[in-house]
């Protein structure tokens, strides 16, 4: 490792600090919503907290984790120094500056618009500019990943790009496509409004542009976890990756089908037609396929490991797996949460069925479970796996790592399972205080308290995670393994792969076709129908 060590440290620590702050805010928010009286609670503090919590988890934790892990993969999987490290550090500085700008604006109460913006509510321009800097930083990262892969391919003509890097670059390409929606919304609508240049805006258009970004962004977040599934977990379990080819295909399918599906977040919106809603629901159903494939492929990879360890029969290989290894444990827990979270997601996307759950706590339950659960538990596992190679020390205590992972899993279930029930009972979202005098709402109180306990467990787990990382600094035993040893080998390592599974030219063309098909008219209609614009409502007046 040449440049990645410091870059990865820097990015991951920013991610994890933002994450820890978000956990504290999240617990306070749940306390506020419960029947138990919470301190410091006003509508302004609550919604500023929700904005901060969403911004920290959805924009900061994720972007910095993806970037930091990407630099690590680019050097260790390709076994060559990162190109243009100075640009990586410039990107880091931009990202940190943007984060601080956004955070200060939120904490001074001038950006209570939530991380999803909700125009025509308009915050101080510095909130949006802060996020623009974070996105700009991520774009620099994308370019560096593309350059790194290009350089490796020129130095290794005809050879397959290592899967971990292929997947990382798939993520970078997907992210460039993904950010087009929110960039257009910010550039042409929200920031001009925030600067006072426009007094009105077309809300239907801004919601549709944002929807372009809002689903694909979760694949930007989850691909590091899937990179761990495919390229690290089989190795950690002592097995082999069942199929390198299917791994490549999975990431390609994510690139194709994570983007033309954003309207499934607008199923209850009046400004889009049933025809395009249904089309995007059908495409959403297709994006579940690469995940179902992953369950099978990683299951088979683990089955190899389990049977090598003496597991027999249809399921005996499961018990035979080395569950004491944190990466293996995290994967098992991740897959359990994936099952539950995936179930919730299938309900959400089911066209008319969305009416049963839209904007209820069911939705909150779903994305905390699938992202906070499945994806973030693998972020922990990745950190634990690469920290020895970053610090040069061996892990001081695997038992504490396992405890932290179990606490995260248990806390996540205790927090989100009641939310599913509450959602079906009609509990709605983004509420600072509920009127527990109302008999319908009073019945929800005990569930809300159970959920709060789950949140507290998660906070404890998050703090233990940071402690576990810090402990490396005082660990005595040196790390014996090189970073390359983390990566799995396939059952049949490919000597060559077709160009379509080694690059993205064809897939970019297909994404363009799919996006024109799925989003062409839904966006064009706003310029044809000329819907009346709404007045801008500023939220950043000084009180």
Q: How far is the CB of 442 from another protein (least distance, A)?
A: 12
Of 398, 432, 450, 475, which one interacts with another protein (CB under 8 A)? 432
Nearer CB in complex with another protein: 146/441: 441
Of 351, 406, 436, 521, which one interacts with another protein (CB under 8 A)? 351
Residue 2: phi, psi to the nearest 5?
-105, -70
Q: Is 539 in the site for another protein (CB under 8 A)?
A: yes
Q: How far is CA 388 from CA 13, 330, 473, in A?
A: 15, 17, 10
Of 131, 267, 386, 412, which one interacts with another protein (CB under 8 A)? 267
Label the pairing between strands 534-535 and 200-201: antiparallel
Tokens 């609550």 correspond to: 46
Q: Is 292 in the site for another protein (CB under 8 A)?
A: yes
- Residues 141-180 binding another protein (CB under 8 A) are none
Task: Single out the segment in contact with another protein by CB under 8 A; choices: 215-223, 282-290, 405-413, 462-470.
Answer: 282-290
- Residues 362-391 binding another protein (CB under 8 A) are none
Of 17, 104, 318, 449, which one interacts with another protein (CB under 8 A)? 318
Question: What number of other Cβ atoms are within 10 A of residue 86's Cβ?
Answer: 8
Q: How far is the CB of 305 from another protein (least distance, A)?
A: 9
Q: Is 496 in the site for another protein (CB under 8 A)?
A: no
Nearer CB in complex with another protein: 90/300: 300
- Residues 221-240 binding another protein (CB under 8 A) are 235, 238-240
Cα 357–Cα 349–Cα 278 angle in degrees, nearest 5: 120
- Residues 396-425 binding another protein (CB under 8 A) are 424-425
What one-character DSSP code corresponds to residue 498? -
- Residues 458-477 binding another protein (CB under 8 A) are none
What one-character DSSP code corresponds to residue 155? H
Of 293, 273, 290, 292, the residue nearest 281 (C-alpha):
273
Q: What is the largest CA-CA distance in the chain?
A: 71
Residue 209: left (phi > 0), alpha (psi -120 to 50), or beta?
alpha
Nearer CB in complex with another protein: 32/145: 32
Q: How far is the CB of 97 from another protein (least distance, A)?
A: 28
Give the integer Cα–Cα distance in Å for 299 and 291: 12
The terminus-to-terminus CA distance of the chain in angstroms comes to 52
Of 156, 397, 489, 500, which one interacts with another protein (CB under 8 A)? 489
Q: How far is the CB of 499 from another protein (least distance, A)?
A: 18
Task: Single out the segment in contact with another protein by CB under 8 A; choices: 123-131, 179-187, 199-207, 394-402.
Answer: 199-207
20 close to 54: Cβ distance less than 8 angstroms: no
Which residues, in sequence order, are bridge partners of residue 428? 360
Q: Is 440 in the site for another protein (CB under 8 A)?
A: yes
Of 24, 90, 246, 450, which one interacts with another protein (CB under 8 A)? 246
Q: Is 295 in the site for another protein (CB under 8 A)?
A: yes
Q: Is 492 in the site for another protein (CB under 8 A)?
A: yes
Nearer CB in complex with another protein: 98/341: 341
Q: How far is the CB of 14 from another protein (least distance, A)?
A: 27
- Residues 78-117 binding another protein (CB under 8 A) are 112, 114
73 close to 12: Cβ distance less than 8 angstroms: no
Burial 450-467 (b: 16+ CB within 10 A, else e): bbbebbbbbbbbbebbee
Q: How far is the CB of 316 from another protein (least distance, A)?
A: 8
Angle at which helices 376-391 and 4-33 cross, to 10°: 150
- Residues 200-219 binding another protein (CB under 8 A) are 202-204, 207
Which residues, in sequence order, are bridge partners of residue 200? 535
To which H or E segment does residue 122 belong?
strand 121-122
Q: How far is the CB of 400 from another protein (least distance, A)?
A: 22
Nearer CB in complex with another protein: 431/506: 431
Report the 3 state secondary structure along 427-447: CECCCCCCCCCCHHHHCCHHH
């Amino acid at each position: 490792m040449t440049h990645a060590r410091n870059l990865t440290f820097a990015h991951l620590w920013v991610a994890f600090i933002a994450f820890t702050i978000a956990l504290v805010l999240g617990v306070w928010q749940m306390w506020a919503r419960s029947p138990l009286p919470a301190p410091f609670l006003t509508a302004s503090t609550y919604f500023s907290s929700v904005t901060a919590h969403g911004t920290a988890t959805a924009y900061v934790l994720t972007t910095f984790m993806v970037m930091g892990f990407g630099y690590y993969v680019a050097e260790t999987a390709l076994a060559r120094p990162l190109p243009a490290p100075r640009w990586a550090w410039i990107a880091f500085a931009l990202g940190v500056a943007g984060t601080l700008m956004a955070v200060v604006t939120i904490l001074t109460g001038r950006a209570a618009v939530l991380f999803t913006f909700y125009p025509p509510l308009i915050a101080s321009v510095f909130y949006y500019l802060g996020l623009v800097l974070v996105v700009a930083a991520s774009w620099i990262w994308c370019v560096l990943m593309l350059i790194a892969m290009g350089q490796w391919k020129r130095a290794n003509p005809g050879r397959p790009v290592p899967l971990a890097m292929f997947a990382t670059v798939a993520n970078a390409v997907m992210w460039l496509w993904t950010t087009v929606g929110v960039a257009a919304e910010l550039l042409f609508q929200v920031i001009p409004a925030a600067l006072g240049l426009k007094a009105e805006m077309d809300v239907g258009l801004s919601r549709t542009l944002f929807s372009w970004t809002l689903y694909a962004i979760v694949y930007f977040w989850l691909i590091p976890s899937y990179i761990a599934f495919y390229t690290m977990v089989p190795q950690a379990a002592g097995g082999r990756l069942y199929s390198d080819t299917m791994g490549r295909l999975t990431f390609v399918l994510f690139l194709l089908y994570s983007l033309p599906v954003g309207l499934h977040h607008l199923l209850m919106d009046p400004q889009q037609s049933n025809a395009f809603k249904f089309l995007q629901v059908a495409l959403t159903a297709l994006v579940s396929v690469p995940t179902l494939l992953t369950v099978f492929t990683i299951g088979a990879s683990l089955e190899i490991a389990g049977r090598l360890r003496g597991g027999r029969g249809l399921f005996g290989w499961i018990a035979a797996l080395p569950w004491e290894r944190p990466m293996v444990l995290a994967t098992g827990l991740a897959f359990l949460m994936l099952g539950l979270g995936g179930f919730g997601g299938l309900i959400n996307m089911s066209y008319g069925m969305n009416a049963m759950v839209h904007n209820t706590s069911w939705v909150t339950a779903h994305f905390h479970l699938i992202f906070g659960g499945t994806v973030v538990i693998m972020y922990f596992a990745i950190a634990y796996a690469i920290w020895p190679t970053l610090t040069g020390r061996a892990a001081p205590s695997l038992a504490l790592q396992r405890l932290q992972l179990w606490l995260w899993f248990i806390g996540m279930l205790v927090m989100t399972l009641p939310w599913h029930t509450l959602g079906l009972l009609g509990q709605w979202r983004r509420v600072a205080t509920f009127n527990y005098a109302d008999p319908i709402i009073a019945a929800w109180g005990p569930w809300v308290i159970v959920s709060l306990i789950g949140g507290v467990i998660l906070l404890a787990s998050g703090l233990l995670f940071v402690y576990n990382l810090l402990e490396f600094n005082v660990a005595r035993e040196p790390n014996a393994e090189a970073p390359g040893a983390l990566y799995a080998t396939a059952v049949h390592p490919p000597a060559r792969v077709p160009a379509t599974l080694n690059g993205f030219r064809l897939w970019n063309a297909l994404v363009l076709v799919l996006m024109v098909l799925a989003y062409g008219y839904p966006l064009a209609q706003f310029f044809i129908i000329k819907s009346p614009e709404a007045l801008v409502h500023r939220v950043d007046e000084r009180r």
